[in-house]
Amino acid sequence: MRSDRGPTRARLLARLGLGRALAFALMIALAMLRVLDPAPLEELRLRTFDYFQLVEPREAPAHPAIIVDIDEESLRSLGQWPWPRTVVADLVDRLTSLGAAAIGFDVIFAEADRYSPGSIIDLVQGLDAQSRERIRALPTNDEILSAAMRSSRVVLGESAVLGPATHAGSPQRQIGIATIGADPAPFLIGYPGILRNIAPLEAAATATGMLTINPERDGIVRRVPLAMRAQGLILPSLSLAMLRAVSPAGQVIIRADPSGIQSIGIRELEMPTDRNGQIFVHFGHHDPARYVSAKDVLAGSVPPEKIAQKLVLIGTSATGLLDRQTTPVDASMPGVEVHAQILENALTGSFISYPDYAMAAELAAALSASLAIIILAPALGAALLALLGVLIATSLIAASWYFYSRQGLLFDFTYPLSSGLAVYLVLVFTNYLRAQAERAQVRSAFGQYLAPDLVEELVRTPEKLVLGGEEREMTFMFSDVRGFTSISESYKRDPRGLTSLMNRLLTPLTEAIISHKGTVDKYMGDAVMAFWNAPLIDSSHARNACLAALEMRERIASLNQEREIEAKARGEEFLPLRIGIGINTGTCVVGNMGSDLRFNYTVLGDAVNLTSRIEGQTKNYGVTIMAGASTMRAAGEGFAALELDIIKVKGKSEPEIIYAIFGASELARSEAFRTLRDRMGRMLACYRGQDWGKALIALEDCRAFEDEFELKPVLDLYASRICAFRDVSPPPDWDGVYVAEEK
């Protein structure tokens, strides 16, 4: 049985198209990238969450956590930090008397107080031995602080350090931790060492908690560990330790599964975390209402209701103590306030979290958006596709914002939006490449016999490659080589030479036409047909056609000079090339004419036929460039144009005034041409008025310019006509119109 898998795959690929296949492959690659979650992708996600908090920060109408601030005023009043522990003990006593629920220190007492009486007695001169012993027997400042701490609920802060050393003699206490599910230890952030307080203070404290705050790679604090590992212990953060200190349960609960940690808290309150046990802090703006000055507490000027039943954090906002953090909502927030805001999150239930199913939701959104674009993009127009893109983007942003503002859940819209955009750009790029290939095909197919401007027009708008046309006023040109039969006979033994000559002739003629915005319609042996004002609009089409004709005449003259030199060098007879150019302006139909199998972009109309007849008359009148009256009216002034005759060409019933064009504006302004035009006008007036004697006199006056303007054939023609009419008068209805019997 023959397998048809190969043809089936080929048909499927052909149906999908290269663009869709590449877009689908990119969609899968981007899904794998999201699973790997490299640092730039994570940072973009976190920046998005920052923006959410910046737009809608957490509102805090009440502050269950208060900060006793070692601020600049307190330092000026009480001296530089560290203060004597007796001052700190007074601060603890004052806060306890004001009803603080628990007191947490965002500072570390890593060394014994150097201000204790026993530490400074050796510095005092002139003191007797008995007095020295009595002073040494006094309690140390650390003992005084320890006593104050035993009378209250005090949580001392500790800090994780990268080195293994810990403070000498400090105890290592493991708090009670209950784990639900998997072992959380492998997921917690770990440190080799701990910077602790001195042993007497830690022994007197209700609990200890970690002060460590981990900014992200960009220096912004977004997540803070609620628990971490150090020296083989699982240790709570300062905020978690304070919550535990006021909780009757007194036990920390860590809930985890094989993918990571889900939440950390106490029995009454579990806080959602990321897989590493870090809480996304739901920040509010820095609020001075959270702060009271340590100086004011010691002075007794703080009202009791400010402290009563509050969790109190003692820390610093003083710039010199270098405890400042950058958060999504503030560029410089005291570190102690970060802990205070975590406590507010916990006590008010105002959490934000990045749920463990967020990645799956984002992947589903990205795949749905990308598939919608892959399936619908080729079938939709640009406007509908743009509308689809706006709808997808709006839906993703709105959904992400809704979950943040209403549910406290963080979902990243940037990944599915970027994924959909990348897929769309691949489709656009492949469509662009396909369009470029189609344009190249059009150029290849039509560039051989259409004007370059027309080819580019068809490239931009290929829908014009259909049968039909439009009515438009245009200017037309026919040119032909005079005496081409004699020239051809001289090449009867050298047909290749004749071909080369024709190329040398037609190339400069074509260049002159195109350089003046003309379109070459076709070549007919030695003849050229061209037109203006199509396919591109040219408001000066008549003028440009006349300028092109004058340039064609100049180029033929240059070509004849070259050929004459070549003929003399070969010892051959020189036969100059002479052309006749007919120009006319009128309305015609322009467009693609022909059959469904083959068609050309060309023109049809009576004005086109008249142009051909005018060109045919150039040999009878002996001039190079001849134009109809409509062309001269449309071209305006600026040409040395001389009226030659009123004729009825073969196949036409209406007479046409014909002009010879000798040059442009410079020649038109010359004294010689103005004189010739006046004399020619008098001759024609006498001729049409049947005053044959005066007509001959005026004609003889014109002969003074016949060599300069190549008028001898014209003047000879009129001389023969005048003499003939003088001998035999024209019929009574004669109106001066000459009827041409030849084309």
Q: First-to-last CA distance in the chain? A: 75
**Better-scored residue on pLDDT, 154 or 534:** 154
pLDDT score at 122? 63
pLDDT score at 449? 45
- Mean pLDDT, rounded, for 67-87: 92
pLDDT score at 247? 85
Of 364, 270, 401, 306, the closest CA to residue 68 belongs to 306
Q: Is 589 exposed, middle or buried (0-12, 13-18, 19+ CB in 10 A)?
A: middle
Q: How far is it, in rounded angstroms, from Cα 391 to Cα 372?
A: 11
pLDDT in tens, 109-150: 999 888 777 666 665 555 656 656 666 667 889 999 999 999
DSSP 731: P
- Arithmetic mean of pLDDT over the chain: 87
Which pair of tokens denotes residue 517? 């915005």
Q: Give the pairing of strands 252-257 and 193-195.
A: unpaired
- Please provide residue 541's backbone torsions phi and psi, each rounded to the nearest 5 degrees: -65, -40
- Mean pLDDT, rounded, for 219-242: 92
Q: How far is it, in rounded angstroms, from Cα 20 to Cα 371?
A: 10
Q: How far is it, in rounded angstroms, from Cα 699 to Cα 355?
A: 105
- In angstroms, what CA-CA distances link 420 with 15, 406, 568? 21, 26, 74
CB atoms within 10 A of CB 223: 21
Q: 3-class DSSP state for residue 250?
A: coil
Q: How far is it, in rounded angstroms, from Cα 740 to Cα 317?
A: 108
- In angstroms, what CA-CA distances link 582 with 451, 477, 511, 616? 20, 6, 18, 7
Tokens 């009202």: give the residue: 303
Which pair of tokens denotes residue 391? 């709808």
pLDDT in tens, 249-293: 778 999 999 999 999 999 878 999 999 999 999 999 999 999 999
Banded pLDDT at 161 (limits 50, 70, 90):
confident
- In angstroms, what CA-CA distances link 557 with 28, 250, 255, 538, 716? 69, 110, 98, 28, 25
Whether the predicted pLDDT of 727 surpasses 60: yes
Banded pLDDT at 95 (limits 50, 70, 90):
very high
Non-local (6+) Cβ contacts of 202 within 8 A are 156, 170, 171, 173, 196, 208
Q: Is 145 exposed, middle or buried (0-12, 13-18, 19+ CB in 10 A)?
A: buried
pLDDT in tens, 607-616: 999 999 999 9
Element (H, E) at 190: strand 190-191
pLDDT score at 302? 94
Q: Give the pairing of strands 527-532 and 468-482.
A: antiparallel
Q: How far is it, in rounded angstroms, from Cα 722 to Cα 737?
A: 13
pLDDT in tens, 445-492: 555 445 566 667 666 766 555 545 789 999 999 999 988 877 888 788
Whether the predicted pLDDT of 16 surpasses 60: no
Q: 3-class DSSP state for residue 698?
A: helix
Which pair of tokens denotes residue 353? 């979290």
Contact 321, 227 (CB under 8 A): no
Q: How far is it, in rounded angstroms, from Cα 136 to Cα 116?
A: 9
The dihedral built from the CA positions of residue 215, 216, 222 and 228, taken in this order, carries a sign that is negative
Which pair of tokens denotes residue 335? 């570190």
The dihedral built from the CA positions of residue 651, 656, 660 and 665, taken in this order, carries a sign that is negative
pLDDT score at 743? 61
Contact 210, 235 (CB under 8 A): yes
pLDDT in tens, 166-216: 554 445 556 678 899 999 999 999 998 889 999 999 999 999 999 999 899
Cα angle: 167, vertex 170, 176; to 5 degrees? 120
pLDDT score at 409? 94
Which spans in 117-179 are helix H?
117-120, 129-136, 141-150
479-664 fold = Alpha-Beta Plaits (3.30.70)
Of 715, 696, 695, 692, the closest CA to residue 705 belongs to 715
pLDDT score at 575? 87
pLDDT score at 10? 47
Q: How far is it, in rounded angstroms, from Cα 11 to Cα 82?
A: 80
pLDDT in tens, 501-518: 899 999 999 999 999 989
Q: Which residues of 280-313 are buried (b: 16+ CB within 10 A; e: fewer)?
A: bbbbbebeeebbbbbbbbbeeebeeebbeebbbb
pLDDT in tens, 356-385: 899 999 999 999 998 988 888 777 777 887
Cα angle: 13, vertex 18, 21; to 5 degrees? 70
Whether the predicted pLDDT of 11 surpasses 50: no
Element (H, E) at 582: strand 578-594
The dihedral built from the CA positions of residue 708, 711, 713 and 716, taken in this order, carries a sign that is negative
- Mean pLDDT, rounded, for 37-60: 91
Contact 225, 217 (CB under 8 A): no
Element (H, E) at 509: helix 495-515
